[in-house]
């Protein structure tokens, strides 16, 4: 079990270093979306500060979603998944490794870019730290859910837009609690309740989603 | 314990059973709906506050209730399909999803038409309205996913997984939306104190709710029968049945 996990993880990291556009493009997309909002709404610092939590989280949802479409596609096309299923290898560590790698490629860079977002949208330090907290808990949840969407739509003909249609409604609770936490912090209020709810959702997803992903992969391959 | 249910996992037996149910449920549903709506729209007293416009409740509330009822039945079918690997349960998801989506759309539309004279607006981001809208998105996702594969069997199974994930998510979405709304706005126009309803209005409403439930059952029977025929079209019993019909 451990070896499958580590091997898949190592292979995915190697692929990431060789195909940089796979994970760089969603990040650029994220930055561009962030830039579009002030351009569309007008550069009013107070307004921007007010809607910053929502903007950041919507941009994050979309960019993770965009990146996750390719999550299992390559393995599906070149037959790795079929071999895994045919060999009756445990899919669970493979799925976990895939999700971990996808978080490292999409969630972690968002976390590293968060000071930049705070600068662009004029968040103060309290709101900034709240945003870091929600990103730490929320991005793994994003990766889990989008992995489920990617697995479900794996062999579908119109993968991309279908993935968005299927998964975006499931993101709603995350969006609500994450942006509420940042907003509360901006008002100088406590936000540990929101973080706790996000943590609870992450625990539930962590327990359930890998099994659903495993099942979805099998039915797409078999 | 459920041994007696086993024969009904066989498409042919179920097809015949559904046919018998449909013959009873379909006329019964339409009859009840006619009684309920005529009574509700024509013969109940007008509301002391809302006048005649409250009468839309006889369509709005049943549609809203059964939009959720349809999703729960879909999730139960999905559970059966995934745990016991019963094909007809997968097909039942496809039979239920469009009906549920239409119920949701009716509930949203009548709600908007009711809100316009009462609240002065077609739409507010109230918790109930929002979760009903998200329910519609969940339905559309299930329908879209089911029809997205070149192999129908894959689509059926994927839709089952999504329906089950959706039903786990639905309470989370519901409560988070409720919480989100109460955070953002206090008692404004959406404050909708529910008056305890007078019996003269309650009975037609109850009849309408039962009627739409019966009609849902009848429509599911019909759609599932069609679906069974389509999936089993190469089997001898379907040919035989078709010849008998012709």
Q: Provide DSSP, A131-144.
A: HHHHHHHHHHHHHH
Q: For A164, name the nearest residue in chain B, comparing CA atoms only.
A: B141
B residues 7..66 contacting A (CB < 8 A) = none
Chain A residues in contact with B138 by the CB 8 A cut-off are: 169
CB A122 within 8 A of CB A182: no
Q: What is the ipTM of this complex?
A: 0.83
Nearest-CB residue to B169 (from A170, A176, A180): A170
Contact B179 A176 (CB under 8 A): yes
Three-class SS of residue A88?
coil
Closest-CA residue of A relative to B83 is A215
Dist. CA A94–CA A154, nearest whole Å: 16
Please give the C-alpha separations between residue B197 and each of B54, B118, B129, B203, B205, in angstroms, as whole numbers. Answer: 11, 17, 21, 10, 10
| Contact flag A173-B169 (C-beta cutoff 8 Å) | yes
CA separation, residue A111 to residues A13, A106, A135, B40 (Å): 18, 9, 6, 57
Chain B residues lying within 8 Å of A178, measured CB to CB: none
Distances (CA, A) of A107 to A25, A136, A206, B39: 13, 8, 15, 58
How does DSSP classify residue A157? T
Q: Which residues pair with B47 in a beta bridge?
A: B51
In chain A, how many domains are there?
1
Give the integer Cα–Cα distance in Å for B26 and B23: 6
What is the rounded distance in angstroms from the CA atom of residue B204 to the CA atom of residue B43? 9
Contacts of B174 in chain A (CB under 8 A): none
What is the Cα–Cα distance from A141 to A124, expressed in whole angstroms? Answer: 25
Task: From chain B, pick out residues whose CB is under 8 angstroms from the CB of A208.
Answer: 168
Parts of chain B with a pLDDT under 50? 184-195
* Residues of A with Cβ-Cβ distance to B141 under 8 angstroms: 165-166, 169
Q: Is B25 left (phi over 0), alpha (psi -120 to 50) or beta?
A: alpha
3-state DSSP call for residue B51?
strand
Q: Using CA of residue A28, residue A30, residue A33, residue A34, what is the dihedral sign?
A: negative
Closest partner residue to B173 (CB to CB) among A155, A165, A173 is A173
Q: Which residues are CB-neighbours of B245 under 8 A, at least 6 positions away?
A: none
C-alpha dihedral, B132 to B138 to B143 to B147, nearest 10°: 160
Partner residue opposite B161 with nearest CB, options A157, A180, A216: A216
With CA atoms as reference, report the closest residue to B209 among B20, B32, B72.
B32
Say whether A157 and B157 touch across the interface (CB within 8 A).
no
Q: Supply angle C-alpha A11, A13, A16, rounded to 5.
A: 110
DSSP string, B54-86: GGGHHHHHHHHHHHHHHHHHHHHHHHHHHHH--
Which among A75, A155, A146, A77 is positioned nearest to A105, based on CA atoms?
Answer: A146
> Under an 8 A CB cutoff, do B145 and A152 touch?
yes
**To 10 degrees, the CA torsion angle through A157, A161, A166, A168?**
160
* Other Cβ atoms closer than 10 A to B65: 16
Chain B nearest CA to A138, separation (Å)? 15
Compute mean pLDDT per 10 residues along chain A, 222 residues long, and list them. Answer: 84 89 87 89 83 89 87 88 86 91 90 87 87 92 92 82 88 88 85 90 92 90 78
Per-residue pLDDT, A213: 93
Q: How many angstroms away from the CA of A150 is the closest CA of chain B?
A: 11
* Cα–Cα nearest to A145, from A76, A71, A219, A41: A71
* Contact yes or no for A101/A67 (Cβ under 8 A): no
Cβ of B141 within 8 Å of Cβ of A166? The answer is: yes
CA distance B163 to B143: 10
Kindly state whether A134 is in contact with chain B, defined as any CB-CB distance less than 8 angstroms: no
Count of all residues that appear for chain A in the document: 222
- Angle at CA of residue A137, ends B132 and A9, nearest 5°: 110
Of B42, B53, B67, B59, the closest CA to residue B208 belongs to B59
Q: Does B125 touch chain A (CB under 8 A)?
A: no
Residue B47: what are its φ and ψ, rounded to 5°?
-70, 145
SS3 at position A187: coil
Domain hosting A69: range is 2-221
């Amino acid at each position: 079990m451990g070896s499958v996990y580590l091997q898949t993880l190592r292979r995915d990291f190697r692929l990431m270093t060789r195909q940089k556009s796979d994970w760089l493009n969603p990040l650029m997309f994220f930055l561009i979306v962030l830039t579009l909002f002030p351009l569309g709404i007008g550069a009013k610092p107070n307004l921007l500060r007010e809607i910053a939590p929502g903007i950041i989280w919507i941009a994050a949802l979309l960019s993770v979603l965009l990146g996750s479409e390719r999550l299992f596609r390559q393995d599906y096309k070149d037959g790795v998944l079929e071999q895994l299923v045919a060999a009756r290898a445990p899919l669970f560590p493979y799925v976990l490794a895939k999700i971990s790698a996808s978080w490292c490629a999409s969630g972690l860079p968002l976390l590293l870019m968060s000071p930049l977002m705070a600068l662009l949208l004029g968040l103060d330090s309290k709101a900034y730290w709240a945003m870091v907290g929600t990103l730490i808990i929320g991005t793994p949840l994003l990766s889990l859910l989008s992995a489920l969407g990617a697995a479900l739509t794996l062999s579908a003909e119109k993968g991309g837009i279908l993935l968005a249609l299927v998964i975006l409604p499931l993101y709603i609770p995350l969006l609500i609690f994450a942006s509420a936490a940042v907003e509360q912090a901006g008002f100088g209020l406590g936000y540990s309740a929101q973080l706790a709810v996000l943590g609870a959702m992450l625990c539930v997803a962590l327990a359930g989603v890998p099994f659903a992903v495993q099942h979805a992969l099998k039915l797409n391959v078999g | 314990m459920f041994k007696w249910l086993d024969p009904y996992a066989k498409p042919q037996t179920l097809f015949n059973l559904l046919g018998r149910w449909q013959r009873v449920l379909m006329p019964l549903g339409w009859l009840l709906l006619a009684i309920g709506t005529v009574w509700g729209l024509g013969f109940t007293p007008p509301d002391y506050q809302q006048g005649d416009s409250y009468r839309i409740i006889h369509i709005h509330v049943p549609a809203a209730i059964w939009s959720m009822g349809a999703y729960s039945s879909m999730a139960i079918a999905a559970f059966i399909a995934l745990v016991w690997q019963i094909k007809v349960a997968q097909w039942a998801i496809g039979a239920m999803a469009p009906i549920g989506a239409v119920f949701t759309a009716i509930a949203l539309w009548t709600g908007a038409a009711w809100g316009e004279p009462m609240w002065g607006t077609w739409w507010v981001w109230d918790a109930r309205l929002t979760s009903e809208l998200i329910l519609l998105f969940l339905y559309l996702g299930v329908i879209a996913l089911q029809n997205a594969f070149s192999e129908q069997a894959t689509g059926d199974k994927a839709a089952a997984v999504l329906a089950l994930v959706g039903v786990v998510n639905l309470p989370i979405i519901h409560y988070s939306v409720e919480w989100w709304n109460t955070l953002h706005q206090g008692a404004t126009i959406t404050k909708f104190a529910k008056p305890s309803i007078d019996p003269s209005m309650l009975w037609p409403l109850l009849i309408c709710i039962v009627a739409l439930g019966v009609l849902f059952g009848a429509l599911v029977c019909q759609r599932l029968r069609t679906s069974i025929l389509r999936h089993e079209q190469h089997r001898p019993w379907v040919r035989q049945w078709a010849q008998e019909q012709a």
